[in-house]
Amino acid sequence: MRFPTRLLSTAAVAAAMTAAIVAAGLAQNATPPAVGNQLAGPIYLNDFQAGTCANFDPAPGILLADLQFPAWTGALTEPSGAGAEAMPLDPATFGNAPIPVAQATTELPAPMADLIASRVALVVHDAENPDQTVACGNLGGMPDERGDLFIGLSETENSGYSGIAWLHDNGTTTTVVVFLANPKAQPAIESGLASLAATAVAEGTPLATPEATVEVTPEIDMSATPIA
């Protein structure tokens, strides 16, 4: 489906695309189901809204799949530590404390060219107060030869959140994958892991030690050409 972007205003184009997506039943049903309770915690709404991050239309835009962080994020950042005990989590096999990332995938019934021409911004809203934003990125640029386009999402209102959006042009549809990172949660995750490890030692539970493996050095093919 192509929209007459030269004849419609930015708001009209966004409204037309939103109507088409709602009619296709994708706007409210785009959230992938949680598998094995791997997703938990607050939901971060995100959508394409007419305008730019500096000045976008507050009216509801093109809704994307909800963003949620992995369940272990909330479990390790709870002050009581009760969440970590309920999962449970093994600090010996968890690895280092990472920066948690929420991810969601949506397929929109419109070519990428129409999305770009509609002049919209990808806005991520605060989980507790959707009227506030936590990250935003202007949609623009030129897709590569594979039909991929990547845009950055910068933090807004000193939220600490940032991310990346990956768009892939399928011809008549566009796949949008949004990644939202929360660096502020990393210290709490590290503290939670340390607390679990200390509890295990106090209870006399030995921490698992990974078995050593013999590393094999792969042979290098000097004629290999890296993919651009």
Whole-model pTM? Answer: 0.74
pLDDT of the residue at 27: 45
For residue 227, pLDDT over 70 is answered with: no
* Rounded Cα gap, residues 135 and 155, in angstroms: 4
Lowest mean pLDDT, pick from 6-15, 107-116, 167-176: 6-15
Q: Mind listing the pLDDT tens digit for each residue in 149-160? A: 999 999 999 999
The Cα–Cα gap between 205 and 140 comes to 53
Written as six digits, the tokens of 104 are: 């969601």
Residue range 180-209, pLDDT digits in tens: 999 999 999 999 888 888 877 776 655 444
